[in-house]
Structure 1
Amino acid sequence: MLLHQLKVAQALLSGVAEGGRGTNGTPYPKQPEKALKLYEFEGSPYCRRVREVLTTLNLDYEVYPCPKGAKKYRLEVQKLSGKQQFPFLVDDNTGDRLYESQQIIHHLFKHYGKTGQTPKKYANYPKIPYVAYVGTLINGAQGVWVHRKVIHRDAPSQLLELWGFEASPYTRIVRSALSEMELAYIFHNVAKERWQDQGLAVMRLRPGKYVPLKGGKREQVLKIMGNNIQVPYLKDPNTGVELFESEKIVKYLKKQYLS
């Protein structure tokens, strides 16, 4: 319990160091017909930039974790493009395969943003992401290295599904575990759509029963989760397990895919 709370504190401070990017997003995303595929790993500051923009655009996408020391999806990227460099985005809707975080960001805003233009705050990232590196260090470099027990294990037959958003410290803990276990998954962004959504599920700024923005993405997510929106939320179609709470999710993943 104490170790988990330490991880929560690290993940929270990591998000603060990044200025809270990856919290808010459009309630009406332009979701592509074919799933975007992102090859990345949790501790990479360059990958983090891309994930922040995906939350801003509130897009769902498939994640293929490529932590250092891993083989499965790193070798897949090698076959697809000839080198192992991350992030790497595959967009089958446009036929593009892209490296370089800034290039990917421009692509995402061009095809899935409202105006087709990259906003200034996302158009000129510093070449060396010092702030993001600090965030990675604060977070204890979790999600950077593959867990030694999964090197020779086959991937589950079906992709896991995770609901959350980039800056959520609890979601970050689960993503780190998925990265270290090299478990591919569908990430469903549940970005904050307005001021009433701010705060933890039990401590939102607007008191009373939670009512999502009509017609927004959260309205659809609420139908999946039930009475309230709480992240992270994991579904494992390989076992039928559905779980809230980051600590419970991580314990389940370790028991199911490490033991």
Structure 2
Amino acid sequence: MHRTLDVVTSLAASVARLGGGLRSGHRGERPDKLLELYEFEACPYCRKVREALSILDLEAIIYPCPRGGSRFRKVVEARGGKLLFPYLVDPNTDVAMYESNDIVAYLFRVYGDGEVPLHLRLGPLTNATAMMASALRPGFGAFARPSRAPEQPLELWSFEASPFCRIVREVLSSLEIPYRLHNVAKGSPSRQAFLARSGKMQVPFLHDPNTGADMFESADIADYLRRTYEIR
């Protein structure tokens, strides 16, 4: 896709969700252990959970499960008994659960102030706008592409509403590359540590511990991921 069209459609997806995941808030207790989320970028129900993680400033290990994927989909089926996404595992409470609304409510109850933001609790309207956002990026991050599995998960500093971060997450999803998601939405207290780490407040920012690569710029990151991990 032409770069300008790529960015415009990704921005439109953020607008469709009224900027959900743009700002951090509602924060409560912090987990000791990383949450685990099995999902794929194009899934509208997964989008709702990622927005909740951004708002609550929660980190998670993301295990991408695109259609046709062989790396993590079977893990979800073995652990939960069915192929349904998103699937959240919380090692802090020994909770594992399906259903986006249940996961969102759980996250705000356990790691927030208990109040789910309005845009995430509008039922059919929330689902409709999440589906619209996916429709604006048809197929991006939805289907698996052959790839080499990294020895260690990558790290991505991101927030859900950023159109540039979305472009990178789509590639990570299609290549089934697991990564540690560091959420740094506007107002996030995690931004100070990120600024010290990266030298400037710009996302997406990728760190690949397998190669030592550090980089900004969504186009450069997407190109790097394809060159390094895609099997052609």
- Indicate the TM-score class for this superposition, using the shorter chain for normalisation: over 0.9
- 1:205-224 to 2 correspondence within 5 Å? 216-224=189-197
Equivalent in the alignment of 1:208? none
Are the aligned partners of 1:10 and 1:138 in contact in 2 as well (CA < 8 Å)?
yes
Please, which runs of 5 or more residues in structure 1 have no aligned partner?
195-215
AA partner of residue 158 (structure 2): G
Please, which runs of 5 or more residues in structure 2 have no aligned partner?
none
Deviation at 1:255, TM superposition (A): 0.5
- Tell me the C-alpha RMSD between the 2 structures: 1.8
Distance of 1:3 and 1:92 partners within structure 2: 41
- 1:12-51 to 2 correspondence within 5 Å? 12-26=11-25, 30-51=29-50
Matching of residue 238 in structure 1 with residue 210 in structure 2: yes
The 3-state SS of whatever aligns with 2:156 is strand
Deviation at 1:116, TM superposition (A): 2.8
Deviation at 1:120, TM superposition (A): 4.3
- 1:13-92 to 2 correspondence within 5 Å? 13-26=12-25, 30-92=29-91
**1:171-217 Cα deviation digits (max 9, x unpaired):** 000000000000000010011018xxxxxxxxxxxxxxxxxxxxx32
Distance of 1:12 and 1:117 partners within structure 2: 27
Are the aligned partners of 1:13 and 1:139 in contact in 2 as well (CA < 8 Å)?
no
Equivalent in the alignment of 2:224? 252
Are the aligned partners of 2:28 and 2:110 in contact in 1 as well (CA < 8 Å)?
no
Are the aligned partners of 1:158 and 1:237 in contact in 2 as well (CA < 8 Å)?
yes
Are the aligned partners of 2:65 and 2:176 in contact in 1 as well (CA < 8 Å)?
yes
Equivalent in the alignment of 1:156? 150
Matching of residue 3 in structure 1 with residue 2 in structure 2: yes
Deviation at 1:57, TM superposition (A): 0.4
Count of paired positions: 231
Change (3 A) 1:121 1:169: closer
Are the aligned partners of 1:30 and 1:59 in contact in 2 as well (CA < 8 Å)?
no
> TM-score, normalised to structure 1's length?
0.84
Deviation at 1:4, TM superposition (A): 2.2
Deviation at 1:127, TM superposition (A): 7.7
Are the aligned partners of 2:87 and 2:97 in contact in 1 as well (CA < 8 Å)?
yes
AA partner of residue 167 (structure 1): A
Distance of 1:28 and 1:67 partners within structure 2: 30
In percent, how many aligned pairs have the same letter?
43
Deviation at 1:122, TM superposition (A): 2.9
Distance of 2:21 and 2:108 partners within structure 1: 15
Tell me which of 132, 139, 151 is aligned to 1:134.
132
Equivalent in the alignment of 1:188? 182
Are the aligned partners of 1:161 and 1:185 in contact in 2 as well (CA < 8 Å)?
yes
Distance of 2:219 and 2:119 partners within structure 1: 34
Equivalent in the alignment of 1:143? 141
**1:7-44 Cα deviation digits (max 9, x unpaired):** 11110011111111110003966431110000000000
AA partner of residue 45 (structure 1): P
**1:38-75 Cα deviation digits (max 9, x unpaired):** 00000000000000111110111110000011111000
Deviation at 1:141, TM superposition (A): 2.6
The 3-state SS of whatever aligns with 1:175 is helix
> TM-score, normalised to structure 2's length?
0.94
